Chains A and B, each alone.
Chain A
Amino acid sequence: MELIGISLLLGLICLDQKYALQLGISQPLITSMILGVLTGEFVPSMYFGAIIQLFWLANLPIGAAKIPDGNIASVIGAYIYLHFEQQGHLAHGFILLAAVLMTVLFSFIGSEMDIWIRKGNVRFLDWGLRDVHNKKKFRVGKYIISTLGVHFIANSLLIYIGSMLGLWIMESAAPFSFCARTNWWRYVDIAVIGTGVGMVMAVYKEKKTHRLMGIIILLVILGLKVAHYA
């Protein structure tokens, strides 16, 4: 499916993150599955979605707090990852690192864009307040649809531009030999998953929770080793 179509569809789904429904369908695990269906690359898409998912679980949208726009950014990262994994001439670790760094970058850009739109939404509120003083019955729906439209366009544009920019950066870097040096990037997978676990630890601060996690880790390792040698 073309990038424009992907941007529009996932831009619409990403409204679920904050502004409509909020059913959790904009989370990277799910959007990566959708992207996998659209591109035919299920396995790498789901892999990327799973490892990047942990990055955003500790982001708490409390009150007016500014948080990274991880869900939309993860779509961009997943697209870049899939595009170059398909080609196969760059080192996997380099592709993964670039995709994750692009995700982090666009999570910041998305966050700033979100703040800008929220400031703009004050106009809709002001127009609503102006309308209540008119003699005609005030209709809120038109402002809700308008603001959702603005967010949808912004999401789609961000995904499209972010993906194109990421592709351009990677294509520019591809001729350099370091991109194919597997040894340089061999630990990126390990670091990405470790980072995700470290990030999610921010919501599990109690010592008894850490003890439980430690026990589970040991049990899992023991169980898998026993199963392997059995």
Chain B
Amino acid sequence: MHRITRTDFWKIFFRSFFIQSGWNYKGMISLGFTFAMEPVAKRLYKDDPEKYNRFLGRSLGFFNAHPYFASYALGAVACLEEKIAAGEITPDQSDVFKNALIGPLGALGDQIFWVVIKPAVFALGVAAFLIIDDINQRFYILILMFFLYNGPHFYVRYMGLRRGYERGYGVCDALKVEHFKLIKHVYGLLGAISVGVVAGIYLSSLQVNDYLGVALFLSAILIAGYFKTSKSRTYWAMILPLLFSVLVGIINSIL
């Protein structure tokens, strides 16, 4: 039976960084998924152009997932494609399984990276920039942020690909939010503390008797938070507090 090699594994890993290239409303990330799967096709069907094209044609079918967690699907599908090449399972079985992964991979990735890790890391960066004035130290902060963000990122991509390939159908066991509880908790805390630090530093930088400044700061938070969270009006949330501050500034200068 043909099996992918270590070199193929790393090729898939590096190609997975382009999984969202060619994102479109018909196949979503299927073009990038196919690009990442190409080394598998070359390994399994290098002497059979018809099967090679059929395999890649299957990969071009609709698929969507969080870009980092899609590695679980890449690994699992690589494993299943080896079984297809060996005649152990049919292509339809692989397609059904791949489609079933769309929901869990998307939900897990969104919960962990977009909602927790990304806001936490960059809020920390903002807090650090407000505290630290030295350019060199800010540069080190950026390096720290890079590792804080990409540590979990690379881990998910690598382990997702590895576990998916090792377990095939069994990859679902690895896709439980409980496995990521610690990382969610730690980064969640980091984010909340960072946002608190940003607000605290800025409030304390206002002059003691600048009640209007404090009131404006708090009202900007409330207006933006209300329109963003309750009304889902992102652009109003960004613009209204600024216009309100200008109005207050004009009235204050007249009075």
Task: Give me the interface of A with B, judged by CB distance under 8 Å.
Answer: 18-25, 27, 29-30, 33, 42-43, 46-47, 49-51, 53-55, 57-64, 67-68, 93, 97, 100-101, 104, 108, 118-122, 124-126, 128-129, 131-138, 140-141, 143-144, 147-148, 181, 183-188, 190-205, 209, 212-221, 224-225
Contacts and interface: CB of A to CB of B under 8 A. Distances in A.
B125 A135 contact: no
A144 B35 contact: yes
B21 A191 contact: no
B221 A23 contact: no
Interface of B: 17-18, 20-28, 30-32, 34-35, 38, 49-50, 52-54, 56-57, 60, 64, 67-68, 106, 110, 114-116, 118-119, 121-123, 125-126, 129-130, 135, 138-139, 142, 145-146, 149-150, 153, 188-189, 191-193, 195-204, 206, 212-213, 216-226, 228-229, 234-235, 237-239, 241-242, 244-246, 248-250, 252-253
Contacts of B153: 22-24
A102 to B, nearest CB: 12
Contacts of A204: 119, 191-192, 195
A202 B191 CA distance: 12
Contacts of A42: 135
B49 A135 contact: yes
A147 B22 contact: yes
A18 B199 CA distance: 29
A198 B241 contact: yes
B192 A93 contact: no
Contacts of B245: 187-188, 190-191
B137 to A, nearest CB: 12
Nearest to A21: B17
Contacts of B64: 63-64
Which of B203, B239, B248: most chain A CB closer than 10 A?
B203
Contact of B249 (A57, A121, A186): A186
B201 A220 contact: yes
Chain A interface main SS type: helix
Given A62-B110, A63-B106, A194 B218 contact: yes
A188 B242 contact: yes
Contact of B217 (A55, A59, A141, A194): A194
B219 A194 contact: yes
Contacts of B139: 33
Contact of A53 (B122, B219, B226): B122
B220 A190 contact: yes
Which of A51, A148, A190: most chain B CB closer than 10 A?
A190
Contacts of A193: 198, 202, 217, 220
A49 B68 CA distance: 26
A210 B244 CA distance: 24
Contact of A140 (B35, B145, B228, B250): B35
Shortest beta-carbon contacts, A-B, top 4? A194-B220, A220-B200, A198-B224, A216-B196
A57 B187 CA distance: 14
Nearest to B35: A140
A189 to B, nearest CB: 9
30 contacts: A21-B18, A22-B20, A22-B68, A24-B118, A29-B145, A50-B129, A53-B125, A118-B23, A118-B24, A122-B25, A124-B22, A135-B50, A137-B52, A138-B57, A185-B246, A187-B246, A191-B220, A191-B242, A193-B217, A198-B223, A198-B224, A199-B238, A201-B224, A202-B225, A203-B119, A212-B192, A220-B204, A221-B200, A221-B204, A224-B201
